A and B are shown apart, each in its own frame.
Chain A
Amino acid sequence: MLPLQLIFRRCVLTMKSRNTIFVCCACLLLSVSVRAEDAPQKITFEEHIKPIFREHCLSCHNVGDKSSGLALDTYGATIEGGSGGKIVAEGNIDGSRMWAMINHTAQPFMPPDQDKIPEPQIALLKAWIEQGMPENSGSVIKKPKANIASLGGVIKGRPEGPPPMPEFALKQPTVFTERSAAISAICASPWAPLVAIGGQKQVSLYHSESAELLGILPFPEGEPQSIRFSRDGQLVLIAGGRHSHSGYAVLYNLKTGERITRVGDELDVVFAADISDDNSKIALAGPQKMVRVYDTATGNLLYEQKKHTDWIYAVRFSPDGVLLATADRSNGMVVWEADTGRMYLDLVGHKSEIRSIAWRPDSSALVSSSLDGTIKMWEMVNGQLIKSVDAHGGGVTAVDVCNDGTIVSCGRDNKVKVWDAGLNPAGEMSPLADAGLEAAITVDGKQVVAGDWAGNVTLWNRAEPAKPIALRANPPTLQMAIAAHEALIAPAQTEVTNSTAVYTTAQQQVDQLQVQVKATDESLTATVAELGNVTTQLTQVRSEVENVTKQIAENEAAMIESKKIIEQKTVELGQKEKVAADAAAAGQPPTTEDLNPLKAELDTLSKRVTELEAAIAIAKTTLQEKTTLATNLDAKMKELETKKAAEEKQKTDLAAALVPVTEAANQAKQKQDAATAALAAVTSKLEMARSDLARFEQYRQQIMTQDADLKTKLASILQQMTEAETAATTEKTNVDAMMAAIVKLQEQLTQIQQQIAAEDAKRQSAEQVFNSKKQAISALSSELETLQSQIAAIEENRKAFQAAYGGN
């Protein structure tokens, strides 16, 4: 700013000098033109443009003739334009019809039926329009305040791609206060899961789903009283200031957190502000009862309205940007045409101060909330009241509408209510701790945020209206967060250690038990196997015993049979022998041959019996052996079965014991896991806070560096300026000296001219005198002649007298 001013001053200075000395010195003119090349010369109507008009245009377009209703002889008339409207557009060469016609890019070419006016003059005109058409050297050239490019293209519907979210480095609050003041501003992004909450000299941005702090927008102007997102959610407009002192509206880029522009310079705080759908206008108002609408790009006041009779609490552009609604503390509500500022509707109906207004997304209806306790909906064709509901006892302090038309409101009854697009009740959140002051509903109505007088900000998922989540309007500083997290780490670690120890112990118990279980199992298995063996053996032995018994029985039966047969045979033998003996005795011939087979048979039989007896004896021995074995085996089996039962019981007991221990171990494990997770979370939060702080510090550093760089640059420029100034001063001194010399010379010249004139006059008078003298001389000469002749005559007489009388 400084250099420009200096240059202007310089220009004015030189121009003034030029005017004063006007025709004097070529070298000075040269110096001026040199300076003009140095810096963009300020082209003004009075000095540069009017002469061009005078030369080419004024014969038709003067205030008397006004061809086509256009007069160009005054600045005002030129700006006003002709019957076809404006002919020049400030700073916009393409929008200036005059230039197009003069430049022969549009019909009718001007001046008519003539050549184009000389190029340098066209260039001057162009420069003049581009400079913003200053009237005279005192006019201030308006320059754009905001970088229009940074406003970006405006997408009115849902933006493509991921919704705009803050991506900047600032999570460091500018101010931290122990408690939060009454909540003064809350707003939800129209597209992103994002809510903005006003605190002391800052606005905190929270993720509406995770309730995570995403960033801080510093508002050093004071307390934010109004937060608004642009239609595309890319920009944030924060308005507020210091009460009874100053008020501004500041526009931020949401992603980068950069300040884009600041408008307004109120003498009191700004209560409400809004940015139009195309970001072109910012409207603001407050206790000064004036609605002021500014051009976002230039910061120029477009219009202001003073219809309101009391403090203005609410200002909202319609989502389509056509209308602007404002409402005040004396029940007044007005809808304006946003472009022109003409009044469109005067909405009368509220019985007490109107605290908040919001548009339905289709721009066809306006919702207003008042301390009379009602929310009213108005249509926008005739301004008729569509619906009025008694919403909150004691007054409705805030109302907001989201993209699907769902409405949220809060009031002095501490309640937060949701309404459908038709203003029918659609739910209520858990009550606030104190009187509600601000409320907002997030994109598509998923979350509701409200703030109360005591400074609490509460977020609800609409699905869980009884589950409030607290947000802070006064988030702690990163250092504090770090400290807090750091303080949490040790206990978290202890918790991990403790829970690990508990778990380890529990696990050991489990392990021990499991070992026991395993041993028991193994033992049981062995027992079972042995039991099997024993059983098998026993079975075998028993079958053997049976076999042996059977064999014995068979043998005995065979033996008895054999014995029987022996007896029979013996009897038979006896009989036969008796017969034989008898016969022998009887003499009959002995029949020896009949006895021998029998005797042989008997022998065989006896042999067999003996064999059998031997076999039986052996078998009985075996049987005894086997029976003993079986008895042993049986005993063993019994023993094993007892063992098995014991072992099975032990196994059951162990299993039962294992359940709680395992449970405990599992719990301990869970605890340990949780503790570990908590530690990890804390650590990660700490890390995040640290990294946030680092980023912040880096950002600070960066800003400082930039600042330092710029300051260095500025210093160097200032240095250069100073030097240039010095040089200029020297030059000026020279010029002054020359001027002084010139003036002196001029004075001398004047003096000389005066002298000449005087001399000339003298000469003339002398000439006159001379002439008269000449005449007198001639007269005298004639007189002389006469006298001479008289003298001659007298001489003659004297001579004659002397001659006659002699002597004197």
Chain B
Amino acid sequence: MIRTLKNIVCCFALATVHVASLNLAIAQDAPAAPAATVETAAPVVPAAPAAPGWESLAVYPPEVSLETAADLQNMIAVATRSDGVTKDVTAEVTWQLENPAFANFQEFRLTPVTDGETKLNASWNGHNVSVPIRVTRSAETKPISFHLDIMPILTRSGCNTGSCHGAARGKDGFRLSLFGFDPNGDYQRITREIGIRRINLAVPDQSLILLKATGAVQHSGGKKIEPGSKHYNTVLTWLKAGAPVDAGPPAAVTKVDIYPKQAVMEGEASKQRLAVVATYSDGTTRDVYDLAGFTTNNDRTASVDPSPTITSGVRGEAFVMARFDTHTVGTQVLALPAGLTYVAPTPSGNYIDNLVGNKLEKLRVLPSGLCTDEEFLRRATIDITGMLPTEQEYEAYIADTSPDKRSKKIDELLNRKEFSEIWAMKWAELLMIKSNNQVSYKAAFLYNSWLTNQLAANVPIDQIVQQILASSGGVFENPATNYYQIEGDTLKTAENIAQVFMGIRTQCAQCHNHPFDRWTMDDYYGFAAFFAQIGRKTGEDYRETIVFDRRGGEVRHPVTGANAAPKYLGGEVPDVSNRDRREALAQWITSPANPFFSKSVANRIWAHFMGSGIVDPVDDFRVSNPASNPDLLDDLAKRLIDYKFDFKQMVRDICNSQAYQRSCIPTEDNKTDLRNYSHASVRRIPAESLLDCISQVTQTKDKFRGLPVGARAVQIADGSTSTYFLTSFGRSGRNTVCACEASTDPSLSQALHLLNGDSVHGKISQGQIIKQWMDQGKTPEQIIELIYIRCLGRRVTDSEKANLLKIVAESGDAPVGLEDIFWGVLNSREFIFNH
């Protein structure tokens, strides 16, 4: 019998470990929810809405400044309908230049004529917009600048990407700095590295740089520039002028604007032109439509071509980005089916629900209904404590009829010590608490205990972080110093701190400016400079490292060769003379002046309960990976500061929100939504909690190194302590600070281990729980009910019960049959997932 069942479950487990199909499976298995506790979403009344009218017209860029003779500006016009839908009306607008003596307007493009100021009037459908135009230095021809004109062409044409000449060793003998982080070096390499090969000033149009780019001679990268095109002529003009180096430092790009900031596109294959304007430090502006690179994070919903124009696709949300110089800017694009009827549900729930609701309304998505009490109890218990509700808890909760029993339950769970243990473990993962050749077990243990105690004592996270970052002393005496023992490399330390406490991955910027974010090498080395003066020496106990401030030591910028001055990431350069640089940094990181810390912490908390971060992955905040709901993230971050980083309060807010309490069953309408919390997500229980849950339901005890028998897996202090079960279920190896180290991805070994390993079968026989129940005189029916409540947090359905009783009957020996059922339940996806 056991074999039969195993086969059944084996097929069951192997066939699908997939969220979508799981949803269906659960939907089918789910018992009818007690009507009293279920709130369905507000019914969608397909009332015939009045045909929405065109509310406004906008012309971009909102003001135009044309400097020098060759300047130009492409104009776009966008109309917005009362329901938020936007439309590119550039070609429909009647354009009128107030005074054509100053500028020329053709093909939606402004070019200068003579110096002066005028206006461009656009009128469409009764709306009128006027854009001021200023023309200056119209008689002046700007010489071609290598930094400002040639470098952007190389970047736009893709010459300096990592797969081409931007590779560390270059390509086919020619190297450029990756995405142009080193323009001076690129100038040298293009013009000077090898005499005549790359440029031929005698016959400029025979320069290899042009012949290769146009594909006139064999070029691995193919044809990148059209002969005779604007870019080609720019390069040729520069070569004809003798390939001069820029006179003086060139103006820096201070900002890049993309227009429109948001587009709500109706119907597939509708188009939206983009306008991109860069502003330089000398106050000039430039239309960089043909110099910026354009990408989209969701090609199916919104594709972008280099013209640049967005084309809408299937319903959804996309982020279209323009990259110019070191700046990446994005515009949010929503694609909606044409002729969609949608009535927004009445707002309900707390502030989180308002913000989530706003976003769903934008997307015209209706949320799923609330989950059942049974589902809520199991979900919240697992999320908050990492345990399952016991039968007693279950019964008590179900019996409770008070309307605020959910929030009462949340408060109750939050006060359990398991809550702080889960978070201690989560932070321990990020702090890489782990013994190894350098770090003694004692140090790791002390570090973990310290962290656990801090969290248990409800010390706000900002204070913990301050203690860690500014810590000095021996790793035994002041366990927070372990942070600097675990990672000894200055640059790595800086990278880790940015990633863990600010959610920013700066690694790219070590060797080149970040290709998809704002971080430059200057930022990177400026930030690393905070850690340049950490001193380490061995204490009296050879296992103890003493961390101290050396008050000396610098970080060198590899391109400029100069010492980098300590500079807050994205912030100012503080005065750190005669002061521990880390103290200054610790204060800044946790201060409200740092926009990243509170967001990062809030996002991590959110992700734990909601299955995905508002920014996801949670430690990858960057321009090109925007928050799915920026308003929500801002609000959560703000509140976290207001709560003085008491994240119990934050958890309370989240768990009390309808967004958290939604059913995980998607509707036809919201099934494609994965990032906007229109329905709950189904999540594999993390490895440690899963093991704890199995031990809990089987009433068995585990033994981990350095901990007493019966300690739970979440309490493991040392990251190097693991079991086969924990490792195969994706326990964090604590080798890096990446949140991705702890994985809930399915694998075959997980399924096989549950089926055939000793974790489930061994524990069932070890715990003897069925025998105990039998001894207590419980009937198989009662036992099956108990198993269901204990493991799945719900009552068994009649059909399930009938089927299972049949199996018990068929087994001949009731305890064996029941053990098989217990085993089968523990192997079911309903058990190992939180839903």
Contacts and interface: CB of A to CB of B under 8 A. Distances in A.
Interface of A: 175, 177-184, 199-200, 223, 225, 242-245, 267, 269, 287, 310-311, 329, 397, 412, 435, 437-438, 453, 455, 474
Contacts of B208: 243-244
Contacts of B805: none
A183 B217 contact: no
A455 B196 CA distance: 10
Interface in B740-778: none
Contacts of A437: 195
B203 A243 contact: no
Given A287-B173, A453-B192, A181 B203 contact: yes
B202 A177 contact: yes
A181 B173 contact: no
Shortest Cβ-Cβ A-B pairs, 4 listed: A181-B202, A177-B202, A244-B217, A182-B195
Contact of B197 (A175, A180, A183, A269): A269
B341 interface: no
Nearest to B220: A244
B734 interface: no
A365 B437 CA distance: 53
B217 A435 contact: no
A435 B192 CA distance: 8
B195 A200 contact: no
A449 B217 CA distance: 33
A244 B195 contact: no
A184 B201 contact: no
A474 B217 CA distance: 25
Contacts of B201: 179-182, 455
Contact of B202 (A269, A310, A397, A474): A474
Given A177-B203, A179-B242, A329-B173, A243 B195 contact: no
A287 B201 CA distance: 21
B794 interface: no
Nearest to A244: B217
A223 B211 CA distance: 15
Contact of A179 (B197, B199, B202, B212): B202
Contacts of A244: 208, 211-212, 217-219
A310 B194 CA distance: 14
Contacts of B203: 175, 177, 181, 200
Contact of A184 (B191, B192, B196, B218): B196
B200 interface: yes
Contacts of B211: 243-245
A181 B208 CA distance: 13
Interface in B306-339: none
Given A242-B217, A267-B218, A438-B195, 13 more contacts: A175-B203, A177-B202, A181-B202, A182-B195, A183-B196, A199-B202, A243-B211, A244-B208, A244-B218, A245-B211, A329-B173, A397-B195, A455-B201
For B192, B197, B203, the residue with the greatest tally of chain A CB atoms inside 10 Å of its CB is B197
Interface string B771-811: 00000000000000000000000000000000000000000
Interface of B: 173, 191-192, 195-197, 199-203, 208, 211-212, 217-219, 242
A619 B212 CA distance: 130
Q: Mostly helix, strand, loop or mixed at chain A's interface?
A: loop
Nearest to A397: B195
A269 B173 CA distance: 13
For A175, A183, A453, the residue with the greatest tally of chain B CB atoms inside 10 Å of its CB is A453
Contacts of B173: 287, 310-311, 329
Given A179-B242, A244-B218, A311-B173, A455 B195 contact: no
B541 to A, nearest CB: 45
B172 to A, nearest CB: 8
18 contacts: A175-B203, A177-B202, A179-B202, A180-B201, A180-B202, A181-B200, A182-B199, A184-B195, A200-B200, A200-B202, A223-B196, A243-B197, A243-B208, A244-B208, A245-B211, A329-B173, A412-B192, A474-B202
Contacts, number: 61
Given A244-B208, A453-B192, A223 B218 contact: no
B217 A243 contact: yes
For B173, B202, B218, the residue with the greatest tally of chain A CB atoms inside 10 Å of its CB is B202
A716 B211 CA distance: 42
B209 to A, nearest CB: 10
Contacts of B191: 453
Contacts of B217: 242-245
A712 to B, nearest CB: 36
Contacts of B202: 177-181, 199-200, 455, 474
Contacts of A435: 192
B218 A245 contact: yes
A223 B173 CA distance: 19
Contacts of B199: 181-182
A455 B218 CA distance: 27
A181 to B, nearest CB: 4
A244 B198 CA distance: 10
A271 to B, nearest CB: 9
A704 to B, nearest CB: 27
Nearest to B197: A243
Contacts of A181: 196, 199-203
A455 B211 CA distance: 21
Contacts of A179: 201-202, 242
Nearest to A246: B217
A753 to B, nearest CB: 64
A182 B242 contact: no
A182 B196 contact: yes
Contacts of B218: 244-245, 267
A287 B198 CA distance: 13
B751 to A, nearest CB: 49
B538 to A, nearest CB: 37
Contacts of A267: 218
B242 A453 contact: no
A269 B208 CA distance: 11
B241 to A, nearest CB: 11
A766 to B, nearest CB: 80
B74 to A, nearest CB: 35
Contacts of B196: 181-184, 223, 225
A178 B200 CA distance: 12
Nearest to A435: B192
Nearest to B219: A244
Contacts of A177: 202-203
A311 B192 CA distance: 16
Nearest to A412: B192
B208 to A, nearest CB: 4
Contacts of B192: 412, 435, 453
A242 to B, nearest CB: 7
A412 B195 CA distance: 11
A642 to B, nearest CB: 80
B184 to A, nearest CB: 14
A310 B173 CA distance: 8
A180 B191 CA distance: 14
For A200, A225, A244, A455, the residue with the greatest tally of chain B CB atoms inside 10 Å of its CB is A244
A225 B242 CA distance: 21
Contact of A223 (B200, B212, B219): B200
A633 B56 CA distance: 133
Contacts of A329: 173
A344 B173 CA distance: 27
Nearest to A473: B202
Contacts of A311: 173
A269 B197 CA distance: 9
A285 to B, nearest CB: 14
Contact of B195 (A175, A183, A242, A287): A183
A72 B646 CA distance: 97
Nearest to A289: B173
A438 B196 CA distance: 12
A455 B191 CA distance: 13
B305 to A, nearest CB: 30
A438 B195 CA distance: 9
